[in-house]
A and B are shown apart, each in its own frame.
Chain A
Amino acid sequence: QVQLQESGPGLVKPSQTLSLTCTVSGGSISSGSYYWSWIRQPAGKGLEWIGRIYTSGSTNYNPSLKSRVTISVDTSKNQFSLKLSSVTAADTAVYYCARGLYGDYDYGQDYWGQGTLVTVSS
């Protein structure tokens, strides 16, 4: 059974860089037709897609965040990471990592982490 677990600081100061890691267990991050996504959800609000990385290293980012976001993969640790620079209070949210499956078409994000709350405050 695949499991994803987010980890990282729960509190980040304004203007600093938010860094989160998603550890994948129960399967190899580099095998299969998968992509690995980050999604966030401010309290009481809807989901916002941040970006994804394919096992090939190719990435797609939300245009509204693209200038501040970097998603990378560390296959040796079976992890992928999110870095969001120059954060403000508007970046306060629960951050989820998720696995997506693709083939003839996109099969959606079928496994999700439990989410981790990141608060931006001084």
Chain B
Amino acid sequence: QSVLTQPPSVSGAPGQRVTISCTGSSSNIGAGYDVHWYQQLPGTAPKLLIYGNSNRPSGVPDRFSGSKSGTSASLAITGLQAEDEADYYCQSYDSSLSGWGVFGGGTKLTVL
């Protein structure tokens, strides 16, 4: 049971827009901790996709965007491409015990 809740899977056709939600609580996202998003392609290490709720590292296409509101965050992907098929994880911190890192359970994106 992950501290942050994500849908297990989402799907969309090429060119479409999909969103992935990440729901937390008042001790993590709602406490003001930033949310980061990672993309994990099959057999590879995760890659930082979004940091600080809505910022893209250099090299990440602007098709990827993030937002945060209250105790939740979202990742949006527009103009879906075949190479976007991957697992996506949100990550934040929890203040319940010493500010430890927490991940969502991950969402498998399938491009139809």
Interface residues of A (CB under 8 A from B): 37, 39, 46-49, 51-52, 60-63, 96, 105-110, 112-115
Distance to closest chain B CB from A3 (angstroms): 12
The reply to whether the CB of B36 lies closer than 8 angstroms to some CB of chain A is: yes
- Which residue of the partner chain, among A51, A62, A63, A96, contacts B45 with CB atoms under 8 Å? A96
The reply to whether the CB of B48 lies closer than 8 angstroms to some CB of chain A is: yes
Residues of B within 8 A of A60 (CB): 98-101
Beta-carbon contact of B57 and A114 below 8 Å: no
Contact flag A46-B52 (CB < 8 Å), given A37-B101, A112-B47, A114-B45:
no
The reply to whether the CB of B34 lies closer than 8 angstroms to some CB of chain A is: yes
15 interchain pairs (CB within 8 A)?
Answer: A39-B103, A46-B103, A46-B106, A47-B46, A51-B101, A60-B99, A61-B98, A61-B100, A63-B100, A106-B51, A108-B36, A108-B48, A108-B51, A109-B91, A112-B46
How many residues on chain B are close to A (CB under 8 Å)?
29
Residues of B within 8 A of A51 (CB): 100-101
Closest A residue by C-beta to B33: A106
Interface residues of B (CB under 8 A from A): 2, 33-34, 36, 38, 40, 44-48, 50-52, 57, 89, 91, 93, 96-106
17 other contacts beyond A60-B100, A96-B46, with CB at 8 A cut-off?
Answer: A46-B104, A47-B89, A48-B103, A49-B103, A51-B101, A61-B100, A62-B100, A62-B101, A105-B34, A107-B52, A108-B34, A108-B48, A109-B36, A109-B46, A110-B51, A110-B57, A112-B47
Beta-carbon contact of A107 and B98 below 8 Å: no
Closest A residue by C-beta to B105: A46
Distance to closest chain B CB from A7 (angstroms): 15
Beta-carbon contact of B48 and A109 below 8 Å: yes
- Which residue of the partner chain, among A37, A63, A96, contacts B97 with CB atoms under 8 Å? A63
Bound CA span A39–B99, Å: 15
Most interface-central of B2, B101, B103 (chain A CB within 10 A) = B101
Bound CA span A97–B89, Å: 16
Beta-carbon contact of B34 and A106 below 8 Å: yes
Bound CA span A51–B93, Å: 11
Residues of B within 8 A of A49 (CB): 91, 100-103
Bound CA span A110–B45, Å: 11
